[in-house]
Structure 1
Amino acid sequence: MQLTNRLVPAAYRDVLRVPGFRRLLSGETVSYLGDGLSVVAITLLAIAIAAPEHTALVVGAAVAAYTLPAALGALALAPWLRRLDARTLVTANALLRAGGLGTAAVLHLLGRLSPAGYVALLAVSSLLVAWGSAGTYTLVSRLVPAEHRLPANTLLGTSQTTAIIVGPPLAGLLVAATSPGVALAVDALTYLVLAAQLRGIPVTAVPAEPTVPTSGFRLLARRPELLGLLALTAVFFFLYGPVEVALPLFVVDTLGRSAGFLGVYWAVFGVGALLGGLLAGALRRVSPWPFAIAVIAGWGAALLPFGLTTSTWITLVGLAAGGVIYGPFPAFNITLFQSAADPADLPAVLAARGSITVAAAPIGAAFGGPLVTWLGPGGTLLASGALTVALAVVAAVLRLASAARRRSAPVPAATVG
């Protein structure tokens, strides 16, 4: 595909003319804002209910319970969910999120929430997250023509990025004025808004297929292109994981700044990702694999200054540039899957993808602690950046080798009948 440009308003105007997509975007934007609130509310509520000697354990368990069970749900629930329609998947996830988070909030406000019960409710609320995300992007593929999917995915991604920037400060104000339980209750309400918006979305049904439903991983195994993209994405996210451990320690220990200054680093990254995503969404068509590899290489290069300097300004600029470079990646990645998978198989394929990508970064973060102990915060960020650049180089070499094999493959001779 050739790369062509369109003005940003024109690129998004076509997408926003689709009524069903407008409803989906508005509902998801509200729920994303709730997730932005939960970044702060989840940990503060854990601190509020934990015994002082168990605070770190409860906080860690709560954060893990809010994300990791999504990978388990993607695998364990596949036999029952992989052929449900996309709107039902998104609605089920929204209602389960609202129920689990809302119950935790109400119990806390009543003084009846225990740490174990809190972790259990968070875990239940996250079981369908991968399926909900799969349903969202399957809806995009059903509602929006193929040539408009990249801007549509970009609008969803930038809404999520904006929520990550805006949500935590709002949560801080809300918690200061009320309590963490109230902030969590607001998060639950945002999912009810999403469920309500979904009711008005018309979706064209995908014709039923006579074949026996197949798991997402088996479908991926039949498509080497998608399997290779998933492997590349998983390793990329895994290599990002140590950043979440090393960056706070770099700010506090290496730079000698306050813990609050970490928010400045994440803010410049978030703003950069927002701008990068919006600008890239204006690209009507782009060669997806070269673009994905370039993004990975660029993000890795943006981390290298952290291991070479202690200049606050240089590292801030590096992280902002990394945000601009990374911003387009989620939308392009999802668009590739939407284009390559069969419509009936897309929810199962995207849920299988989600089970891997959701777990990749936390697993990488688990390795971050030992790496920081061994290399220090700056050394860990440098190692993450260098390995990410190396990943891009390996992916580029493999793509070139694959293209060369296809060009050299003999063309079957035509038979005369």
Structure 2
Amino acid sequence: MSHTTLRRVLPGFAVSSVGDGMAVVAVSWLAIELAPAADRGIWVALAAAAYTLSGAAGALLLGRFLRHRRPAQLAGWDAALRAGALGAIPVLHAAGVLGIQGYVALLALSSVLHSWGQAGIYTLIARLLPERDHLAGNAVLSGIGSIATVVGPPLATLLIVFGGPATVLAVDATTFLVLALTFLWGVPKDGVPEPDQDQASRTAGFAVIRRIPALSGLLALSFVFFFLFGPVYVALPLHVSDDLGASAGVLAAFYTAFGIGAVLGSVLTGFLSTWRLWPTTVGIVIGFGSLMLPMGLGAPTAVSVVCFGLAGLLWPPYSSLSTTLFQRSAPSAVLPQALAASSAVRVLSVPLGTALAGPLVATLGPVGTLRLSGAAIAVLGLTAAAALALRTPEQRRRPSRETTGEAPRGTAAMDDEDARPHP
């Protein structure tokens, strides 16, 4: 809050985060309304996947055009595209010409620049704040997003009742317009330090990750984790609407509970620098999967909501700690590329899992899909824990910085952290 440039950015970021918190409910609910009844599972999966999947493609294909752009430009262009594409949805819906195919296409278009937009935001944090404050800065952004997840779903429910899910997306588009104006006009061109030289190729980000075994291994763990979580974005709305016969308010209760847990998790993230980060990360995966199981085992709705909220408590450390590792490890000249590459890989995992949910729900039903997702995540964590336990004594001694969470400049702490994108 004491930094002049970041103080101007945070209000716009907070407003757009609330809009995204509302969209979590509206995207799937509008897909349920537009899709033919016989194929709703498939189309809800495609809608949820389209909202994020194209961001991974944009990270891979647009590096030649975007890698030399200022961080504020990247974030501003992403917000402007999302505002335009999402804003077209309620307009076409009001005109009565919005079909499910067009809806999915607009969701995909809105996210083409999202990996670069996220890279721009976190590059600003890295370049404007001293290294010791990177974790704190990342936790603030994660905390704002988590608070928005608490506030957004109830607001979305009210708007759905009175105006329908398309109205929610109209509000979401407006919030992104605010964010675009914030970055494109609120951040002075000379207000962000630039690296002395920027001659990195468009594959430099992947090269950085590939050179550091801890980063590549952690990214692989995170990819599988989020891939296995992806089906929840389809199975949970269908479980609420079909199995429970409930309204969007119950779905909002699940997401709000998750958001409340995430707010608390964001606050606790700052204290994790004294923990052994690899065991903590693996423990998070095991705990998260275990807390998902009640939804798939027929627990009462209230119990499932509480467990989903506790799972939310474990989510924020992934984002803040892994982003801090990238900020400290990657050279400044290739930091946007490294962050975009990481975001592309991680963002790709959730939509792929979401797309898989269509046939899973058709075969196992929503409850069976939720049960499989939770159990598979827990097994993944147990497998990673076994791999940690089987390390040689030399490998166990290597991460001398693990208890402090510090990494030498230009390298990675060999046993440090993790990764995650806010879906």
Query: Residue by residue, what CA displacement relative to the aligned partner does 1:354-376 show, whole Å, maximum 9, x if unpaired?
Result: 11211212323444553872993
Aligned equivalents of 1:194 and 1:65: distance in 2? 22
Does 2:353 correspond to 1:361? no
Q: CA deviation at 1:253?
A: 8.5
Tell me which residue corresponds to 1:412. Answer: none
1:373 aligns with 2:375: no
Q: TM (normalized to structure 1)?
A: 0.81
Choose the corresponding residue for 1:96, options 81, 85, 93. Answer: 81
After the TM superposition, which of the residue ranges 208-217 and 26-35 deviates more from structure 2? 208-217
- Match 1:270 to one of 255, 259, 277: 259
1:44-71 deviation digits (Å, cap 9, x = unpaired)? 5445666677766654443332221111
**CA shift digits 1:206-236 (9 cap, x unpaired):** 2214565534222321222221221121122
Preserved contact between residue 72 and residue 127 of structure 1 (Cα < 8 Å) = yes
Which sections of structure 2, spanning at least 5 residues, go unmatched? 400-423
Instruction: Give the corresponding residue for 1:80.
Output: 65
The alpha-carbon distance between structure 1 residues 36 and 265, as it changes in their structure 2 partners (threshold 3 A), is: closer
Higher Rg of the two aligned structures: 1
Give distance in 2, aligned partners of 1:402 and 1:248. 47
Counterpart position of 1:3: none
Contact conserved, 1:294 with 1:392, CA < 8 A, in 2? no
1:183 corresponding residue in structure 2: 168
Rounded Cα–Cα distance in structure 2 between residues aligned with 1:225 and 1:66 = 30
Q: Is the deviation greater in 65-74 or in 314-323? A: 314-323
- Determine if contact 1:97/1:125 at 8 Å carries over to the other structure: yes
Counterpart check, 1:107 vs 2:92: yes
Q: Are the counterparts in 1 of residues 57 and 112 from structure 2 also a CA contact under 8 Å?
A: yes
- 1:306 and 1:46 map into 2 onto residues whose CA distance is 22
* Shift in alpha-carbon separation, 1:109–1:211, aligned structure 2, 3 A: closer
Q: Within 2, Cα distance between the matches of 1:152 and 1:36?
A: 20
Task: Indicate if the aligned counterparts of 1:242 and 1:380 stay in contact, CA closer than 8 A.
Answer: no
- State whether residues 68 and 198 of structure 2, in contact with CA within 8 Å, keep that contact through their aligned partners in structure 1: no
Aligned residue for 1:66, secondary structure, equals: helix
Q: Which residue identity is paired with 2:343?
A: G
Alignment counterpart, residue 330 of structure 1, candidates 301, 319, 332: 319
Q: Please state how far the C-alpha of 1:38 moved relative to its aligned partner.
A: 2.1
1:329-379 Cα distance to aligned partner (Å, 9 max, x none): 211121111111111111111111111211212323444553872993574
- Match among 15, 22, 27 for residue 7 of structure 2: 22
Give the structure 2 partner of residue 281 of structure 1. 270
Compared with structure 1, are the counterparts of its residues 327 and 284 closer, same or farther at alpha carbon in structure 2 (3 Å cutoff)?
Answer: same
Provide the TM-score with structure 2 as the length reference.
Answer: 0.80
1:138 maps to what in 2?
123
Counterpart of 2:364, as a letter, is T
CA distance in 2, matches of 1:67, 1:153: 21
The gaps in structure 1 that reach 5 residues or longer are 1-15, 408-417
Equivalent of 1:403 in 381, 387, 395? 395
- Find the residue that maps to 2:186 and give its secondary structure: coil
Match of 1:388 in 2: 380
Report the equivalent of 1:241: 230
AA matched with 1:132: G
Q: Does 1:206 align with 2:179?
A: no
Q: Map 1:1-12 to 2 at 5 A.
A: none
> How far apart are the structure 1 equivalents of 2:39 and 2:235?
23
How far apart, CA to CA, are the structure 1 residues paired with 2:12 and 2:389? 41
> Taking structure 1 as reference, are residues 391 and 332 closer, same or farther at Cα in structure 2, changes over 3 Å only?
farther
SS of residue paired to 1:68: helix
Question: 1:39 maps to which residue?
Answer: 24
Indicate the residue corresponding to 2:406 in structure 1.
none
Corresponding residue of 1:11: none
Question: More deviation in 374-383 or 152-161?
Answer: 374-383
Percentage identity across paired residues of the two chains:
41
Q: Report how far residue 239 of structure 1 moved.
A: 2.5
- Change in CA separation of 1:121 and 1:228 when aligned onto 2, cut-off 3 Å: same
Question: In the alignment, is the contact (CA less than 8 A) between 2:198 and 2:334 conserved in 1?
Answer: no
CA shift for structure 1 position 317:
4.3
Q: Give the Cα–Cα distance (whole angstroms) in 2 for the partners of residues 149 and 63 of structure 1.
A: 31
Cα distance in 2 between the residues matched to 1:125 and 1:378: 28
Letter in 2 for 1:172: T
